[in-house]
Amino acid sequence: MFYKKPLSLQTIVLHWTTGLMFIAIFILGLYMVELPKGPDKFELIGLHKSLGALILIIAITRIVWRIKEGAIKPASIGSAWQNRLANIIHGLLMLATLTMPLSGIAMSVGGGRGADIFGWQLIAKGDSIPWLQELGSMVHGLSVNIIIALLTLHILGAIKHQIIDRDNTMARMLGRI
């Protein structure tokens, strides 16, 4: 049995804007840290930092919207543990869209470099604050494998709904129902 109620346009637009941006920034992060020091690496780190800070604004908008609208209901009736697991993963992914930008900004501000979005200054350069830089760096780095695991489960879940359950989960998130 399927729930036919569509998701709101805001939910769909905010999911794909944050989701695709998050994946792009994540892959950029993994790629740039492997590059040798030089102008290319420097430029990509700047791009990563600006896009990373920008996503924070979109993520906050999304979370405010989710709180206002309430949690989305499953598109099909699955077992209780599957629904609970999906909810936990959704919550942790949303949390990651806050902790990654915030820890990145903490790293940058802690290093005395401030934070900006493509030149639009958010926090001015200043003295370095070593504990803030270390904390930011620890959270940013330790989250990487957890996020990979969460995203893998999230995407596998969406594929399972599509191929095995053959329900409306994916169609609903794509705005097709």
- Contacting positions for ligand HEM (CB under 6 A): 11, 15, 18-19, 22-23, 25-26, 29-30, 33, 45, 48-49, 52-53, 55, 66, 72, 74-75, 86, 90, 93-94, 96-97, 100-101, 104-105, 107-108, 115, 140-141, 144, 151, 154-155, 158, 169-170, 172-173
Supply the minimum distance, in Å, between the C-beta of residue 32 and ligand HEM. Answer: 7
Supply the minimum distance, in Å, between the C-beta of residue 162 and ligand HEM. Answer: 8
Measured from the CB atom, the residue of 107 and 127 that comes closer to ligand HEM is 107
**How many degrees, rounded to 5, is the angle at CA 18 between CA 33 and CA 72?**
135
Amino acid present at 100: M
**Own/partner long-range contacts of 170-173 (Cβ < 8 Å, ≥24 apart):** 172/6, 172/7, 172/75, 173/7, 173/12, 173/15
Supply the minimum distance, in Å, between the C-beta of residue 81 and ligand HEM. Answer: 14
Supply the minimum distance, in Å, between the C-beta of residue 149 and ligand HEM. Answer: 13
**How many degrees, rounded to 5, is the angle at CA 122 between CA 117 and CA 128?**
110
Supply the minimum distance, in Å, between the C-beta of residue 58 and ligand HEM. Answer: 10
- CB distance 133 to 44 below 8 Å: no
Measured from the CB atom, the residue of 129 and 144 that comes closer to ligand HEM is 144
Measured from the CB atom, the residue of 34 and 127 that comes closer to ligand HEM is 34
Tokens of 154: 């999230």
Tokens of 4: 């036919």
Q: Report helix, strand or coil for 105.
A: helix
DSSP state of 75: S
Measured from the CB atom, the residue of 15 and 125 that comes closer to ligand HEM is 15
